[in-house]
Amino acid sequence: MNNPLNKKLFYAVLLILALLAPFGLYPVFLMKMLCFALFACAFNLLIGYTGLLSFGHAAFFGGAGYVAGQAIKAWGVPTEIGLILGTLTGALIGLVMGLLAIRRQGIYFTMITLALAQMLFFVALQAPFTGGEDGLQGIPRGKLLGFIDLSSDMTLYYVVLAIAIGGFALIVRTIHSPFGQVLKAIKENEPRAISLGYDVDRYKLLAFVLSAALTGLAGSTKALVLGFETLTDVHWSMSGLVVLMTLVGGLGTIIGPIVGAVIIIMLENKLGDIGNWLASVTHIEWFNTLGDSVTIVTGFIFIVCVLAFRRGIVGEILNLFGKRSASTSH
């Protein structure tokens, strides 16, 4: 895919598929997929291109969702302002978390992001406007820019698609920019980057905030699509889920996270059916309950991916064609 013409063709096919998809599939489901795809891409910017494993991305995703939802519902701001506020919330939480977390390296960085996100979880649990265990319900979709009525799923789908593509384009642009090259240098060899005179912490922080902001955009869009926001989105398992999506698709590949997000969301949705099918084939009763045991299956995929499949789907494909993506580390 390194051939520029092939690449353009590939993206064009992908775009056409995305434009036609809602005619064949349930639009809300597709929109959810798009939000998670953007979420995973934003996450990948950090792990795949800067080498920072954040286990706190749920804080940006859910935090932004709550603020966007509250702004649109209770303060009555226009939809687009709500989304912008959500994105800014993601960026702001990212700035605070980033400032603290980049003071430590490696595994400590990960533990700090996880702990700070857990703190936000407790805030969301106790704060008056989040609705605690019930969540923030009944977020109206409103009108985009005052004249595009979003109450139709079809209209909203194309808006969400535009948002996702915009976010994706920004990420791709960032990766290929001089800034992205510095991030890659930090990932490959941090002491070297420091010795070359780069202010590594500043680059890391900027990447962190950018990733958090885009995650916030994905989170607020998801809240808008589904019309509610719950504690699930700020829980640590959500941070784990986005790691899994990126890992399944391929760390440090551009479209890997999209593939991973699509697969994991489909799997979550269809697991009950798959279980019933397995039960009918193998006659093992237990498979009928598979739909209630999503965490067992996600845990299993995690283990398999880490042990045997570290490049992820897209990484393996690229490897198969002998064009290893430069940033797949192992």
Partner 1 sequence: MELFGIPLQALLSQLLLGLVNGSFYAMLSLGLAVIFGLLNVINFAHGTLYMLGAFAAWIGLTYFNINYWAMLILAPLIVGAFGIVIEKTMLRWLYKLDHLYGLLLTFGITLMVEGVFRSIYGVSGQPYSVPDALQGATNLGFMVLPNYRAWVVLASVVVCFSTWFVIEKTRLGAYLRAGTENPKLVEAFGINVPLMVTLTYGFGVALAAFAGVLAAPVIQVSPLMGSNLIIVVFAVVVIGGMGSILGSIVTGLGLGVIEGLTRVFYPELSATVVFIIMAIVLMIRPAGLFGKEK
> Can you tell me which of 226, 310, 316, 317 binds partner 1, judged by CB under 8 A?
310
What is the spatial distance between Cα 19 and Cα 37, in angstroms, rounded to a whole number? 16
Residue 241 or residue 255: which is nearer to partner 1 going by CB? 241
Region for 302 from its dihedrals, namely left if φ exceeds 0, alpha if ψ lies in -120 to 50, beta otherwise:
alpha
What is the spatial distance between Cα 330 and Cα 308, in angstroms, rounded to a whole number? 12
What is the spatial distance between Cα 290 and Cα 299, in angstroms, rounded to a whole number? 13
> Can you tell me which of 9, 12, 14, 119 binds partner 1, judged by CB under 8 A?
119
- Does residue 278 interact with partner 1 by CB under 8 A? no
Shortest Cβ 65–partner 1 spacing (Å): 20
- Does residue 330 interact with partner 1 by CB under 8 A? yes
The CB density around residue 326, as the number of other CB atoms within 10 Å, is 9
> Can you tell me which of 10, 26, 75, 108 binds partner 1, judged by CB under 8 A?
108
Amino acid in the structure at residue 16 = I
Residue 96 or residue 172: which is nearer to partner 1 going by CB? 96
How distant is the alpha carbon of residue 72 from its chain centre? Answer: 22
- Does residue 250 interact with partner 1 by CB under 8 A? no
> Can you tell me which of 12, 169, 296, 320 binds partner 1, judged by CB under 8 A?
296
- Does residue 105 interact with partner 1 by CB under 8 A? yes
Site string for partner 1, 53-82 (x = CB under 8 A): x-----------------------------
- Does residue 100 interact with partner 1 by CB under 8 A? yes
- Does residue 207 interact with partner 1 by CB under 8 A? no
Contact 198, 249 (CB under 8 A): no
- Does residue 106 interact with partner 1 by CB under 8 A? yes
Q: What sign does the dihedral 68-74-78-79 (CA atoms) show? A: positive
Q: Specify the stretch interacting with partner 1 by CB under 8 A; choose among 23-31, 65-73, 236-244, 268-276.
A: 236-244
What is the spatial distance between Cα 125 and Cα 121, in angstroms, rounded to a whole number? 6
What is the spatial distance between Cα 309 and Cα 22, in angstroms, rounded to a whole number? 32
Contacts of 94 by beta carbon, 8 Å cutoff, 6+ apart: 60, 208, 209, 211, 212, 213, 215, 216
Shortest Cβ 145–partner 1 spacing (Å): 39
Q: Specify the stretch interacting with partner 1 by CB under 8 A; choose among 12-20, 23-31, 134-142, 291-299.
A: 291-299
- Does residue 20 interact with partner 1 by CB under 8 A? no
Q: Specify the stretch interacting with partner 1 by CB under 8 A; choose among 77-85, 202-210, 277-285, 289-297.
A: 289-297
Contact 100, 116 (CB under 8 A): yes
What is the spatial distance between Cα 231 and Cα 305, in angstroms, rounded to a whole number? 27
- Does residue 50 interact with partner 1 by CB under 8 A? no
DSSP β-bridge partners for residue 229:
136
Cα-flanking dihedrals φ and ψ of residue 137, to 5°?
A: -105, 160
Q: Specify the stretch interacting with partner 1 by CB under 8 A; choose among 59-67, 118-126, 175-183, 222-230.
A: 118-126
Contact 248, 312 (CB under 8 A): yes
Which residues contact partner 1 (rule: CB under 8 A)? 53, 100-101, 103-108, 110-112, 114-116, 118-119, 122-123, 125-126, 236-237, 240, 243, 247, 289, 292-303, 305-307, 310, 329-330
